[in-house]
Structure formats: structure tokens, C-alpha cells
Amino acid sequence: MIPAPFEYYRPREMAAVLALLAEHGDEARVMAGGHSLIPMMKLRMAEVPHLIDLQDVEGLSGITVSGGEIRLGAMVTQAEIIDSKELAQAAPILREAALQIADPQVRAMGTVGGNVANGDPGNDMPGLMQCLGARFTLVGPEGEREVAARDFYEAAYMTERDDDEVLTAVAFAVPEGGYAYEKQKRKIGDYATAAAAVQIRREGASCAAASIAMTNLSDTPVWSEAAAEALVGTELGPEAIEAAVTAMLAEIDPSEDNRGPVEFKRHAAVVILRRAIARAWSRA
């Protein structure tokens, strides 16, 4: 559990980060909380000759809620999300999800930016951000651009972000209606066997809008537009829920691991989604 040798940098400005990335190309990587990256380096599954720590870089922190928009700096930790009163008000699904990530020690270090940039299908925030329709701000040599969370993930550890870009912020509209983040895991500190992020807006007796994303059930998060659509316009009776679940099942593609075989995961996905929908609806 000793990583290969590496150079360590701790710049204060984004320009310096970008310069290091430009200089060392794919030999360099940024590090946020380090709680995904360092284990990989220690296992020697990731070799990073030039490690650029983002801790001291200005402009990457802070949670702001204004004008119906929420913005999280990339370096906002999961612990900060849990502690933020503003966020608990504006987007309680974030707190509910963050509390189910890892353990308190890891959450004190792990960041939103690292979690969504990592590209590990096990991470909880990518699916959550897809559910919320978030946008990621990327800064690179060519300047700044925004990519929708729903377009960001290509395959396991493969994202829209270029190697020389840094993710600086995550932004999304203040979500409306009921919410739920439901996750089955084997123990604290475990990635999901199956997890579902659900937001539902209710008008009168029926569902006006919905968004559903599933985690760790494919090599990317699965935002299931069809599942959400199956709910919209209904009163969430058994048939609508059945239709949503069927739509979701058509889009996930779990693989077997120590959490269980595929058939179990598909079943767990159904149970978890049903529970998430029920809870979100009860809060809508």
C-alpha cells in the first residue's frame, strides 16, 4: 500500500494548476480530497508522477444559494454539504445523499468536485446531479465551459472532461417538490448495491414533473427519462410505478461483484426505486 514515487504541488491559483497540467500532460492529475485518488495510487492502479493538490487554490470553495440557483464550489466537502443549513432548506436531497456516502472521516475530506469528476460508477453524486439536472463548470487552456451532468459520463472513469481541464463548480436550479435518495449498501463506507435519486413535483393529485437517476447499476449513472415520464401526469398508482420501474430496468446494466449477482441487483434496483418514489411522493 505504498504509491509509486510522485511530485507534489500545492499551487494557489488556477492559472498555476493549468500550467502544470499543460506542462506534464497525462502524467499530472489534480487531487481534491484524495479519498478516491490516493487509494488508487496506493494500490498502484493509478500512477500519478505529478500530483497537484487543489486544497489551496482560490475560488473553488463555497455554497451559494441565490436567484433560484445553487452553486457548489468543486472543493466543497460532503461534510460541508451535510452541515449547510441553507442547503438543507433549498435542496434537502443533497444532505440525504451525502449522509449515505462513506463515513464521517471520508466525508470530511471528500469533495463534490472529486466525487463527480472521478467517473467511478459507484460514486453517489453523479447520479444525484443528473437527477437535479446540474451543470458542471470546466476550466481549461481554452477557457471555461459548462457541461450538463446528463452528458458528462461516457464510461467508467471516462468523462467529457479533457485531461487538461479542471472542474470548478457544480450548479443547478433549486429543486422543487418531494425528494428521496435511497441507497442499499452492505455497511457504512460501502458503495451502493443499488441507489436511486428521485425528485417529484406534484400538482393537485398528480405528478407534474419527475426526475430519476440510478447509481452503481451500470458503468455510468443512469438518468432514466423514460422512468420519470412514466410518472408524469399520473397519480402514481401501481400501474404508473410499475411502468417507471420497467422503464428503469430497461436502462440499467449491472454487473456481478461481491455485492451480489446481476439478478439480485436488478431486483434491488426495483425495490430501491419503488421506495424512493414512495418517499419522494410523500414529501411532494
Partner 1 sequence: MKDDVESREDRTAGLKGLGCARRRVEDLRFTQGKGNYVDDIKLPGMLHGDFVRSPYAHARIKSIDASAALALDGVVAVLTAEDLAPLGLHWMPTLAGDKQMVLADGKVLFQGQEVAFVVARDRYVAADAVELVEVEYEDLPVITDPFESLKSDVVLREDLEPGADGAHGPRKHHNHIFTWEVGDKETTEQVLEEAEVVAEEMVYYHRTHPCPLETCGAVASMDKVNGKLTIYGTFQAPHAVRTVVSLLSGIEEHNIRVISPDIGGGFGNKVGVYPGYVCSVVASIVTGKPVKWVEDRMENLMSTAFARDYWMQGKIAATREGKITGLWCHTTADHGGFDACADPTKFPAGFMNICTGSYDIPVAYLAVDGVYTNKAPGGVSYRCSFRVTEAIYFIERMIEVLAIKLNVDAAELRRINFIRKDQFPYQSALGWEYDSGDYHTAWDKALAAVDYKGLREEQAQRVEDFKAGKTRKLMGVGLTFFTEIVGAGPVKNCDILGLGMFDSCEIRIHPTGSAIARLGTISQGQGHATTFAQILASEIGLPADSITIEEGDTDTAPYGLGTYGSRSTPVAGAATAMAGRKIRAKAQMIAAYLLEVHDDDVEFDIDRFVVKGAPERFKTMKEIAFAAYNQAIPGIEPGLEAVSYYDPPNMTYPFGAYVCVMDIDVDTGVPEIRRFYALDDCGTRINPMIIEGQVHGGLTEALAVALGQEIAYDDLGNVKTGTLMDFFLPTAWETPNYETDHTVTPSPHHPIGAKGVGESPHVGGVPCFSNAVNDAFRAFGLTHTQMPHDHWRIWKTANRLGLHG
184 binds, options ligand FAD, partner 1, none, Cβ within 5 to 8 A by partner type = partner 1
Pick the stretch among 28-36, 144-152, 197-205, 252-260 that binds ligand FAD (CB under 6 A).
28-36
For residue 53, the minimal CB distance to partner 1 (Å) is 19
- The cell numbers describing 159, all together, are 468523462
- The cell numbers describing 44, all together, are 498502484
Q: Which is nearer to partner 1, 104 or 141 (CB)?
A: 104
What DSSP string describes 142-170? TEEEEEEHHHHEEETTEESS-TT-EEEEE
Binding of partner 1 by 46 (CB under 8 A) = no
The position carrying cell 448495491 is 193
Give 74-107 as a 3 state SS string.
CCCEHHHHHHCHHHHHHCHHHHHHHCCCCCHHHH
Distance CA(131)–CA(221), nearest Å, equals 10
Pick the stretch among 2-10, 22-30, 162-170, 232-240 that binds partner 1 (CB under 8 A).
2-10
- The cell numbers describing 217, all together, are 447499476
Distance CA(46)–CA(122), nearest Å, equals 17
From the list 170, 280, 268, the residue with the least C-alpha distance to 236 is 280
Measured from the Cβ of residue 119, the count of other Cβ atoms closer than 10 Å reads: 21
For residue 128, the minimal CB distance to partner 1 (Å) is 20
Binder among 17, 30, 81, 210 for ligand FAD (CB under 6 A): 30
Measured from the Cβ of residue 163, the count of other Cβ atoms closer than 10 Å reads: 11
For residue 40, the minimal CB distance to ligand FAD (Å) is 8
Binding of partner 1 by 184 (CB under 8 A) = yes
Output the furthest CA–CA distance in the chain (Å, rounded): 61
Q: Scanning residues 165 to 204, which ones bind ligand FAD (CB under 6 A)?
A: 166-167, 189, 191
113 binds, options partner 1, ligand FAD, none, Cβ within 5 to 8 A by partner type = ligand FAD
Binding of ligand FAD by 223 (CB under 6 A) = no
79 binds, options partner 1, ligand FAD, none, Cβ within 5 to 8 A by partner type = none
Q: State the binding string over 35-54 for ligand FAD (x if CB under 6 A, else -).
A: xxx-x--------------x
The single-letter code of the amino acid at 62 is G
- The cell numbers describing 114, all together, are 472529486
Q: Which is nearer to ligand FAD, 99 or 226 (CB)?
A: 99
Binding of partner 1 by 156 (CB under 8 A) = no
Q: Residue 61 in 3-state DSSP? A: coil
Catalog residues that contact ligand FAD under the rule CB under 6 A. Answer: 29-37, 39, 54, 74, 101-102, 106, 109-111, 113-115, 117-118, 123-125, 166-167, 189, 191
Catalog residues that contact partner 1 under the rule CB under 8 A. Answer: 1-2, 4-5, 44, 103, 184, 186-191, 193, 258-261, 264, 267-268, 271-272
